[in-house]
Amino acid sequence: MSLKAIGHTNVRVVYGACPHDCPDCCALESEVDEYGRAVCVRGRADHPITRGWLCAKVNRYLERVYHPERILYPMRRVGPKGSGGFARITWEEAIAEITVRWHDIIAQQGAECILPYSYAGTLGLVNGAVTDSRFWNRLGACRLERAICGHAAEEAVLLTVGGRLAPSPEMLLRSKLVLIWGSNPASTAPHFMPFLRQAQRNGTRVVVIDPIHTLTARSADQHIQPYSYVRLGTLIRTNNEVSTRTSGSVNRTFDRDNC
């Protein structure tokens, strides 16, 4: 996506990575003008997964970053919740107000009454996994199992597969069977899809298990669509039994014969 105005000749290219919590981990290159303003962002053509394109979310990143309605300053709500009234305040006022309120909470009920919720989203390592926990630890706030949305799925993967392994999309090209369970990479990991398509053209069988007829399911060789909790439970139980009957958590015979 380019916001390059005519006359911007003095641009430099800055390399980076997409900050979204997305398995594709796209490699970006941005053109930055002499004022430090990004004027163009695109996927790196020489990256083996990104291959020169970005998804719809990030393709228009600059429009969002430089949008006139983007919130850049602290705003204090005025009027009742939901009324939509906000007034701009300074950073000093915002920090002072939060400090006073947190001191009150800590004095009256203890620091554990403050519960930070944050997860990956668009955070890098420094603000997503280093500085934030030091701050909350120092404060004595409640600890949060951060991935509240994915924990059940992660446990299920650990129990059935034995590890949260993340094979490279390129490995699809060496697989005879690809099982996509409860995931819709056509929408959530689009750079996976060209590899899947190529694998299918090479004869790989693709099976999707998903109660929803997703974009990915539409192009699968087989879509197993659990239509109720009962049937989904049966499927999970069957899978667990298959895993348990084999040595350890991974069915090596199945892997060898099918993957």
Interacting residues with ligand SF4 (CB under 6 A): 18, 20, 22, 24-26, 54-55, 57-58, 190-191
**Do 237 and 157 contact (CB within 8 A), yes or no?**
no
Distance from C-alpha of 101 to C-alpha of 125, rounded to nearest angstrom: 29
- H-helix or E-strand containing 193? helix 193-201
CB of 138 to ligand SF4, least distance (A): 32
User: Which amino acid does the sequence have at 49?
Assistant: I
Q: Which is nearer to ligand SF4, 8 or 60 (CB)?
A: 60
CB of 55 to ligand SF4, least distance (A): 3
Which residue(s) pair with 237 in the sheet? Answer: none
Q: Which is nearer to ligand SF4, 21 or 89 (CB)?
A: 21
Q: Mark residue 166 as left, alpha or beta (left: phi above 0; alpha: psi -120 to 50; beta: remaining).
A: beta
Estimate the crossing angle of helix 229-245 against helix 151-161, to 10 degrees: 40
Q: Which is nearer to ligand SF4, 20 or 146 (CB)?
A: 20
CB of 73 to ligand SF4, least distance (A): 27
Distance from C-alpha of 124 to C-alpha of 113, rounded to nearest angstrom: 27
CB of 72 to ligand SF4, least distance (A): 23
Q: Which is nearer to ligand SF4, 25 or 159 (CB)?
A: 25
Q: Which is nearer to ligand SF4, 25 or 207 (CB)?
A: 25
CB of 50 to ligand SF4, least distance (A): 7
- Chain-centroid distance of CA 53 in Å reads 18
